[in-house]
Structures are given as C-alpha cells and as structure tokens.
Amino acid sequence: MDHQHNHSTGSPRELPMARSMCWHCQSEVSGEYFCERCVKVQPVSKELDYFTCMGFPRRLTIDPRQLETKFYELSRAFHPDFFQNKSAEEQSISLGNSAMLNTAYRTLRDPIQRAEYLLDLEAGAVKNIRTSPPADLFEEILELQDTLDEYRAADRASDASATLCSKLQTERTMLERRQQDMETALQQLFAQWDALQDRGEATDQARAERDRILKHMRDILSNRTYVKNIVNDLVATIS
C-alpha cells in the first residue's frame, strides 16, 4: 500500500524519547529507548502518540507488514521476559512500555481505529466543527427497527413473516452496499489526508483543506457506525 513513502525509521532505538535524561545515570538520552551510557531501558511517555511511539508519521495509509515488523522489533526490545533479572524499576518500565506498545499496535493496525485515533489527536482544531446528525439516516434506521420488531413478533410460518423477511433482506443488501461505499469514500479521504501531510504546507488553504478532510472523515465514520449497528441487528434477526 505504501511503497512510495518509506517512512519507517531504521532502528527501534532511534525513536523520540519521553525523557531527555536517563532515570538511572542522569546522562542525556537523545531519541532512544535505551540509555547510551548505562544501557537501561527508558519509559515511553504517556504523552507520546501511537504514531510516534511506533515510529510512523501521522498518515492514514500504513503498510501492515512494516507496522508488524516494527511491532515485533519493539516487542523484543521491551518484553518483560528479558527483564526478569533486572532491577524492579527496569521491570516496571518494560511492562509499561510493552502495554503501551500493544495498545499502539492494536489501534494502528485497524484502518478504522487508526482514523478514529487520528481524529482524536487532531480534534483540537476541528472540535468546533460539530457534525450534523444525519436525520434521513436516523429516520430510516428507526423505521427499519419497527419492521424488525414486526418481524420478530410475526408468526414465522405466516405469509406476512415471509414478506417482511424478504423486505429486510433487500434492506440488508442495500445497507451493506452503502457501507462499502462509505469505506471507499474513507479510503479516498485517507489518501487526501496523506497527500496533504506529505506536502507539509502551512498555508490557510492547506488548513482549510485539512479541516474539510477531518470533518468529512468524522461524518463518514459516525454514519458508518450507525449503519454497521443496524446491519448487525438485521443479520442477527433474519439469519
């Protein structure tokens, strides 16, 4: 997916650090998870976002293999098993780092979760852009909910039940197609976001573009959740 832009940093030891000073020997640590002088593991800051933690830029297209490779590299570096004979402090840091790494990997691995997370990170600037509730979609969902109730109450052997079932099947197909369309639209927005990040401009136009992309992404992600919920309900009821 991401062949043109190889953003992966070479070694896991070249990542931005939480502390500028080693907790153990007080020497300066520059951009490493391990102190150069005393070789002690350093804690990953809670402030550090998952992209930075994994050494990836804030882009929405991530090569899953690259991410996995990075995850394994860092897992090996932090794994509590390798700290069993070390001090209590080091053990606790290794545990904390491993936990953070696992969450970071889980979040970034899934494209939707990755986008949700990015929106959270970038929300500062777009917080005041409230998403408008999609009234038509809500109306549709509530109506469908009524039909589902009707179907649940209907005698399974009756003609009415069969009619309702085929109606729900049609709805399901349509909603699933819509879900796919939303995912396609999201992919396009992801690409737009990445292109904008790569250009790295700081103009008003770039900022406006950035807000537009984020807001649009927010809307689609929300609508996708609504649609996904009703589809799940449909699937559970009619199959």
Partner 1 sequence: MAYSDKVVDHFNNPRNMGSFKKDEEGVGTGMVGAPECGDVMKLQIKVQNDMIVDAKFKTFGCGSAIASSSLATEWLKGKTIEEAQKIKNTDIVQELNLPPVKIHCSVLAEDAIKAALADYQKKADGALVDAK
Q: Which of 6, 53, 57 is nearest to 196 (CA)?
A: 57
Cβ contacts of 76 within 8 Å, gap of 6 or more? 82
What is the rounded CA–CA span in Å between residue 220 and residue 216?
6
Give the residue among 1, 49, 59 at the shortest CA–CA distance from 199.
59
Cα–Cα distance for residue pair 69/2, rounded to 1 Å: 14
The nearer residue to partner 1, 196 or 231, going by C-beta atoms, is 231
Give the nearest distance from C-beta 231 to partner 1 in angstroms.
Answer: 10
The least CB distance from residue 224 to partner 1, in Å, is 9
Locate 130 and state its tokens: 């409230």
Smallest distance from the beta carbon of 145 to partner 1, in angstroms?
5
Q: 147 vs 197, which CB is nearer to partner 1?
A: 147
Q: Is 142 or 174 the residue whose CB approaches partner 1 more closely?
A: 142
Choose between 109 and 228: whose C-beta lies nearer to partner 1.
Answer: 228
In the complex, the smallest distance separating the C-beta of residue 229 from partner 1, rounded to whole angstroms, is: 4
Please give the residue ranges that form the binding site for partner 1 (CB under 8 A).
Answer: 131, 133-135, 138-139, 141-142, 145-146, 218, 221-222, 225-226, 228-230
Q: Closest separation between CB of residue 83 and partner 1, Å? A: 34
182, with CB counted inside 10 A (0-12, 13-18, 19+), is middle
Measured from the CB atom, the residue of 174 and 208 that comes closer to partner 1 is: 174
